[in-house]
Structure 1
């Protein structure tokens, strides 16, 4: 059964990039910003305000949670974030949706269309 697009609307670019950054490992805010820059080859830059607004919303939606902190020095106060199973499901559905968009775009671009007179 195909997912209902009304239940999983397209993700905003910031949301997509944040979930994708967290898919491999737990990260703190600055680590998320760095990973997004790395994954996008510097083409997508996320500022702290946008990042933390989106993280709050993702946490409210239970797509991201606080990750348990490893044993760190006492002065280490960074908060770590982790994608949830539900977050992975949403990310996977978005990747499938984007794959279909790209496939359709390639088919459309490769079609031979008659020239207009």
Structure 2
């Protein structure tokens, strides 16, 4: 399964768990922040993805606690999840680098946005 590129929600979810364990609502908020507000995971999508990623052993339950009478489960990345996320980050970096090379953007993207190659009007 590692041969296929990750879907964006999976990539964002694993990224959200890469620095510390989080519970469902915190994952939703972190994905929203990481994506710059573009991706808002719905509850059904989130918990289906969490169940799948637990089965794939990319994440695991870190702890469970009862908060306001409800079970709160926190998740964390496994060693295999870290390896898979790092491989996907490398793949994306290589694709982006090749796109920049082909566009003549050898210096990459600066803080002001992409530079425009000679002869191209923005």
- Counterparts of 1:17 and 1:7 in 2: how far apart (Å)? 16
TM-score of the pair, normalised by structure 2? 0.78
User: Residues 89 and 44 from structure 1, CA distance in 2 versus in 1: closer, same or farther, beyond 3 angstroms?
Assistant: same
> Which of the two has greater helix per residue?
1
- Structure 1: runs of 5 or more not aligned: 1-5, 113-117
How many pairs align? 108
Instruction: Determine which of 37, 60, 67 is the counterpart of 1:65.
Output: 60
> Which of the two has greater strand per residue?
2
TM-score of the pair, normalised by structure 1? 0.81
Which has the bigger relative contact order, CA under 8 A and spacing at least 6?
Answer: 1
- Counterparts of 2:72 and 2:78 in 1: how far apart (Å)? 19
User: Runs of at least 4 residues of structure 1 off by over 2 A?
Assistant: 72-76
